């Protein structure tokens, strides 16, 4: 059965109606024609007004096309009937309404703060005072914002160790160092050298956590089988900077107690305190771990703290904030 034929028969012979919006230009022929500007250009439109309202120039109006014949269908926007006078001067009054601030003519000058009645025939005009007019907004008030906890995990972009070819006690001028990507290890470096290991994070921590956030916790991940060292922020923001010269360091952030990530644990998150979280969120940072109490020690006892290759979470920082 043809399901479309009954539908086509039902609409056959009916008028085709379309509505467009244009700008009022002027009236002609004693008001029987309205000239309206639309996308193709200005065109005359038949007018059968149902009131004495006349749009102001460039006001948006509707044009209805019935079987290709254009008819004027009135203003496209509702106008406020009341407002509150803000300022008066130069023969015009500035009036605040629920659609914004408008400039109005008047016959008798109102006073600032007066609630007034408005007429819109050929532009806004103050008719006179009204008892009161509270300006209402159709936009609801913003709800009271409640900060929410948010947790972020930042993995290191790179990790490894730099061997500096000098003894820190006798020579501080031999650079650059040599970069050894991979696990943090100092055991194979010969005497008379200094080594330091790093995690590099770039600017992603600083770029993610907004200023003004409240820090709830800040933790670092350590692989199983490691004794947790102190962690120092360093001035080196890249491998190149770490190789070029021995970076300066900030105070260390120490876990509470002698914590060991036991074998079989899969690694553990160690809380380093909210001050640590605020420090890494405020700067583009790198980290330097140490087991000997000094960030430039040879780190005896730390065979490996893992890398992004061997353990993707090694050196990861987990920060919880509210904002």
Nearest to 165 by CA among 239, 250, 245, 248: 245
Q: In the chain, what are the helix, strand and coil shares in percent, each to the nearest 5?
A: 10, 40, 50
Average pLDDT over residues 295-301: 32
| Residue 215 forms part of a structural domain | yes
> Which CATH number do you get for residue 43?
2.40.50.140
| Residue 7 forms part of a structural domain | no
| Residue 6 forms part of a structural domain | no
Number of domains in the chain: 3
44 and 87 co-located in one domain: no
Average pLDDT over residues 71-83: 83
pLDDT of residue 82 exceeding 50: yes
Q: What is the DSSP string of 230-298?
A: EEEEES--SHHHHHHSPPPEEEEE--SS--B--TTS--EEEE--HHHHHHHHHS-EEEEEESSSSTTS-
Residues 103-140 have pLDDT tens digits of: 999 988 898 888 999 988 778 899 988 877 666 555 56
166 and 117 co-located in one domain: no
Inter-residue contact 34 to 23 (CB < 8 Å): no
104 and 206 co-located in one domain: no
156 and 283 co-located in one domain: yes
The pLDDT, as a whole number, for residue 172 is 53
What band does 5 get if pLDDT is binned at 50, 70 and 90? Answer: low
Please tell me whether the peptide bond between 176 and the residue prior to it is cis, using omega within 30 degrees of 0.
yes
| Residue 8 forms part of a structural domain | no
State the Cα–Cα distance between residues 289 and 301, nearest whole angstrom.
12
63 and 92 co-located in one domain: no
Residues 303-316 have pLDDT tens digits of: 344 443 446 677 78
State the Cα–Cα distance between residues 176 and 162, nearest whole angstrom.
9
97 and 218 co-located in one domain: no
Domain that holds residue 119: 82-129
Residues 141-169 have pLDDT tens digits of: 667 778 889 999 998 888 778 877 765 55
Choice between 322 and 32, residue whose per-residue pLDDT is larger: 322
| Residue 143 forms part of a structural domain | no
| Of the listed ranges 17-31, 160-174, 195-209, the one predicted with least confidence | 160-174
183 and 220 co-located in one domain: yes
293 and 181 co-located in one domain: yes
pLDDT of residue 248 exceeding 80: no
Flag whether the pTM goes above 0.85.
Answer: no
């Amino acid at each position: 059965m043809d399901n479309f034929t009954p539908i086509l028969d039902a609409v056959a012979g009916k008028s085709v109606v379309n509505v467009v919006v244009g700008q009022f230009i002027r009236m002609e022929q004693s008001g029987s024609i309205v000239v309206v500007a639309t996308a193709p250009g200005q065109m005359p439109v038949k007018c059968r007004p149902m009131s004495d309202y006349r749009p102001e120039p460039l006001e948006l109006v509707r044009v209805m096309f019935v079987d290709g014949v254009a008819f004027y269908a009135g203003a496209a926007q509702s106008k406020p009937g009341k407002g509150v006078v803000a300022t008066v001067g130069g023969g015009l009054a500035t009036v605040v309404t629920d659609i914004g601030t408008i400039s109005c003519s008047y016959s008798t000058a109102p006073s600032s703060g007066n609630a007034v009645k408005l007429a819109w025939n050929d532009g806004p005009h103050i008719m006179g005072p009204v008892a009161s007019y509270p300006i209402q907004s159709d936009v609801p008030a913003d709800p009271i914002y409640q900060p929410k906890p948010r947790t972020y995990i930042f993995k290191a972009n790179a990790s490894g160790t730099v061997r500096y070819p000098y003894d820190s006690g006798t020579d501080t001028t031999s650079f650059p160092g040599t970069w050894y990507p991979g696990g943090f290890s100092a055991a194979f470096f010969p005497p008379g050298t200094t080594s330091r290991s790093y995690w590099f994070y770039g600017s992603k921590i600083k770029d993610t956590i907004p200023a003004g956030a409240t820090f709830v916790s800040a933790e670092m991940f350590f692989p199983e089988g490691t004794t947790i060292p102190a962690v120092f922020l360093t001035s080196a923001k890249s491998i190149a900077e770490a190789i070029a010269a021995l970076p300066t360091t900030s105070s260390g952030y120490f876990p509470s107690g002698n914590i060991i990530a036991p074998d079989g644990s899969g690694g553990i998150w160690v809380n380093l305190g909210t001050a640590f979280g605020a420090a890494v969120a405020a700067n583009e940072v790198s980290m330097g771990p140490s087991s000997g109490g000094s960030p430039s020690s040879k780190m005896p006892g730390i065979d490996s703290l893992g890398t992004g290759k061997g353990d993707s979470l090694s050196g990861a920082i987990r920060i919880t904030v509210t904002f």
